[in-house]
Amino acid sequence: MKQIAVLDDYQGAARSFGPWEDLAGSAQVTYFDRHFAKPDDVVKALAPFEIVVAMRERTRFSREVLEQLGRLELLVTTGMGNAAIDMAAAAELGIVVAGTASVGPPTAELTWGLILGLARHIGEEDQALRAGAWQTTIGTDLAGATLGLVGFGRLGQRVAAVARAFEMNVVAWSTNLDPSVAEAAGVTPVEKSELFATSDIVSIHLVLSDRSRGIVGREEIEAMKPTALLVNTSRGPVVDKDALVAALHAGSIAGAALDVFDVEPLPEGDPLRKTPHTLLTPHLGYVTSDTYRVFYGEAVEDIVSYLAGSPVRVLQ
């Protein structure tokens, strides 16, 4: 009987959202509700398992880690891309890496929750009201403001559609932006420097890669208006955290809403926890019932197919 590990199940949700009963008699499933941050901890915890289900890019599967997981045959990641897996090492070691589909709308929806929460100080006003205060902040208008999208793929395009309903001007930039696609969506393609200098709200929608890591750096943040807001629901390392923290403490930008971080879960002593003018959420972009059904449902399908000798959704 194969041993299956399901990682980073913080909420105990995997059991109820996946059809694990389809594996009855052929596999035994263990759910881990805490994160293994250190490579040694990953190896120690996963040594007995032939199959691992990884949540997004939470756990790093480096060559060093994979080489020590001698029993590992199948590594399933939620989503069809995972920058935390050394794909070359997995291929050399004969480890099959499979993935699942993902759901686009939830992250775009959360992006707008963060934009509205930050622009209208919803979290601050909730706390102030409970403490006995009344109307302690002044909000930022969206109608007529400029939204700058860093990345204009599937998620960026969804965010742009909502921005138009709010009567915002929308500009976009990415290294491979097709101007005709942007213009067809009512979005103006601009250079990177212009986007950061002119946008009232900058929202990031990039896949993490060597090319995108740190792409929003000190120069870009310093170019932003002092009244501008930054929203990141993509991946933490896309933004230079030190530069962002410095700008927020100095008041050189008005605020930032972050759903993603360099290290997740966000460590207790991370400076972002005490940085002013921030709205922080614990990587909730994908945390919805529909997404979990897709993630865990297709993870089980991959495992069933693998055990039956049938094709799986292999990552390239």
Dihedral sign from CA coordinates of 84, 87, 93, 95: positive
CB 266 within 8 A of CB 245: no
Domain-embedded: residue 232: yes
Label residue 75 left, alpha or beta by phi (over 0 means left) and psi (-120 to 50 means alpha).
Answer: beta
Domain that holds residue 256: 105-280
Within this chain, do residues 26 and 120 fall inside the same structural domain, yes or no?
A: no
Within this chain, do residues 253 and 216 fall inside the same structural domain, yes or no?
A: yes
CATH number at residue 261: 3.40.50.720
Domain-embedded: residue 315: no
Q: Give dist(CA 242, CA 268) in Å, integer.
A: 17
Least confident of 90-94, 143-147, 155-159, 209-213: 209-213
pLDDT at residue 79 in the model: 93
Q: Report, as an integer, the average pLDDT of 261-288.
A: 96
Catalytic residue among 58, 121, 158, 235: 235
Q: Give dist(CA 4, CA 214) in Å, integer.
A: 35
Within this chain, do residues 76 and 195 fall inside the same structural domain, yes or no?
A: no
Catalytic residue among 194, 213, 264, 277: 264
| Sheet strand arrangement including 201-204 | 188-189, 169-173, 146-150, 201-204, 229-232, 255-258, 278-280
Within this chain, do residues 136 and 89 fall inside the same structural domain, yes or no?
A: no
Within this chain, do residues 98 and 188 fall inside the same structural domain, yes or no?
A: no
| Res. 302: pLDDT tops 90 | yes
Active site residue 235: yes
| Res. 316: pLDDT tops 80 | no
Within this chain, do residues 94 and 138 fall inside the same structural domain, yes or no?
A: no
E strands along the chain, which residues? 2-6, 27-31, 51-54, 74-77, 96-99, 146-150, 169-173, 188-189, 201-204, 229-232, 255-258, 278-280
229 token code pair: 């807001």
pLDDT at residue 104 in the model: 85
| Res. 194: pLDDT tops 90 | yes
Whole-angstrom CA distances from 66 to 70, 75, 313 are 8, 10, 20
pLDDT at residue 56 in the model: 87
Within this chain, do residues 159 and 254 fall inside the same structural domain, yes or no?
A: yes
CB 289 within 8 A of CB 305: no
CB 101 within 8 A of CB 302: no
pLDDT at residue 225 in the model: 98
| Res. 178: pLDDT tops 90 | yes
Cross-strand bridge partners of residue 4: 29, 51
pLDDT at residue 57 in the model: 87
Domain-embedded: residue 149: yes
Within this chain, do residues 110 and 244 fall inside the same structural domain, yes or no?
A: yes
pLDDT at residue 93 in the model: 98
Within this chain, do residues 126 and 76 fall inside the same structural domain, yes or no?
A: no
Q: Which tens digit of pLDDT belongs to each residue from 33-73?
A: 999 989 999 999 999 999 999 998 889 999 999 999 999 99
Sequence-ordered alpha helix ranges (H) in 10-104: 14-17, 39-46, 63-68, 87-92
E strands along 51-138, which residues? 51-54, 74-77, 96-99
Q: Is the peptide bond before 265 cis (omega within 30 degrees of 0)?
A: yes
Within this chain, do residues 37 and 147 fall inside the same structural domain, yes or no?
A: no
Domain-embedded: residue 245: yes
15 token code pair: 């059991």
Nearest one of 63, 21, 69, 18 to 44, comparing CA atoms: 69
Within this chain, do residues 162 and 94 fall inside the same structural domain, yes or no?
A: no
Please tell me the pTM assigned to this model.
0.92
Within this chain, do residues 243 and 156 fall inside the same structural domain, yes or no?
A: yes
Domain-embedded: residue 316: no
Q: Which tens digit of pLDDT belongs to each residue from 160-171?
A: 999 999 999 999
